[in-house]
Amino acid sequence: MGTFVSIDLVRDDPAADQAVERAFEWFREVERRCTRFDPSSELMQIGTIPCGTAVAVSPMVFQAIQFALTVAEESEGAFDPTIGRTMEARGFDREHRTGQPIRSTIEPDPNVSYQDVQIDAERQTVTLRRPLVLDLGAVAKGLAIDMAARELAEVGDFAIDAGGDLFLGGRNAAGQAWTVGIRHPRAEGVIESVQVSNQAVCTSGDYERLSGDGAGHHILDPRRRTTAWEAASVTVIASSAMLADALATAAFVLGPTIGIPWLERQQVEGVMFTSDLRRYATEGLAA
């Protein structure tokens, strides 16, 4: 969360400079096109076209939307890019504010879901059935990380950190897989560590701060419009940050009983801690 993006190279390598610059440039480009908070971004421009009309979008925006919608289908709505933070920001689970336009966006229909978005892969278009705001936050950030990782593939040993979502390439300075600590969801410190190489590590937690003001936020279950209460944190390790980020969010909502087997079926590794600090993990991370 947040905008701080850092790229660590294990070796000082002047030849890698251009690759690092291109990596940062991808973050800029993804932000430009996919941010919800700039009315002129490509994403927000979609909302200016009347519902029911197919809107042609760039490959980047199309791929991000397509991926988000597919995760929504695979999770049967536990992950839903049409709900998410828009609801949280407006306290939707408590009160439905009306008549208050924010940055000229349309007040989303309370019944909107991912099924109100249709895409056409052949024409590369997106069609909104109802007024809604697509929240590509996690997917877009993951995509940017994956693009950056691709730029650095030749560099080999590197670490990308985009506000806590990580991609660890190759090996660390000691020639070993990177060690990543997972923040304890209820106490200070690290609850456990994982060893990764050429993998993304993304954590969804209910302790995450918003804008550094110390206030936690709740991850909502888009299907029930209530707070997802079972999990305190979920960490997913996958080959792609886009995948890890979205799956961590979905698994968080799904809870341990359904979420962990679901992650197994998605062929990623994950570990979940519930509020009472019980640990649930996929087989690869079994205790």
Partner 1 sequence: MKSSNRLMALSSAAVLTVYAAGYFRTKPAAARFAHEAANRRPAATMPDFVAPVQAAASDERAAAPADPAPVADRSEPAEPTVAPARSGPAAREHRSADPTSAASLDSPAPASAPPSTIGFALDPVPAAPEQKAADQKAADAPAAAASPTPVVQAASAQAAPAPAAAPAAAAAVAYKDGTYLGWGWCRHGQIQAAVVIEAGRISSASIAQCLTRYSCSWIAALPPQVARRQSAEVDYVSGATDSTNAFFYAVVDALAKAK
- Interactions with partner 1, residue window 71-100 (CB under 8 A): 71, 73-74, 76, 85, 89
How far is CA 238 from its chain centroid? 13
- The reply to whether 10 sits near partner 1 by the rule CB under 8 A is yes
DSSP alpha helix (H) spans, 75-229: 84-89, 137-151
- The reply to whether 118 sits near partner 1 by the rule CB under 8 A is no
* 35 within 8 A of 27, measured Cβ to Cβ: no
Per CB under 8 A, the list member of 44, 128, 133, 159 interacting with partner 1 is 159
**Span near partner 1 by CB under 8 A; candidates 106-114, 137-145, 221-229, 269-277:** 137-145
- The reply to whether 205 sits near partner 1 by the rule CB under 8 A is yes
Q: Tell me how far, at minimum, the Cβ of 50 lies from partner 1, in Å.
A: 26
Length of the chain: 287
- The reply to whether 37 sits near partner 1 by the rule CB under 8 A is yes
- The reply to whether 201 sits near partner 1 by the rule CB under 8 A is yes
Instruction: Give how far Cα 266 sits from Cα of 238, 253, 259, 274, Å.
Output: 10, 16, 10, 21
- The reply to whether 240 sits near partner 1 by the rule CB under 8 A is yes
Cα separation, 262 vs 236, in Å, equals 12
**Span near partner 1 by CB under 8 A; candidates 92-100, 112-120, 125-133, 178-186:** 178-186
- The reply to whether 24 sits near partner 1 by the rule CB under 8 A is yes
**Span near partner 1 by CB under 8 A; candidates 24-32, 46-54, 90-98, 279-287:** 24-32
Fill in the DSSP letter of residue 105. B
Choice between 130 and 184, CB closer to partner 1? 184
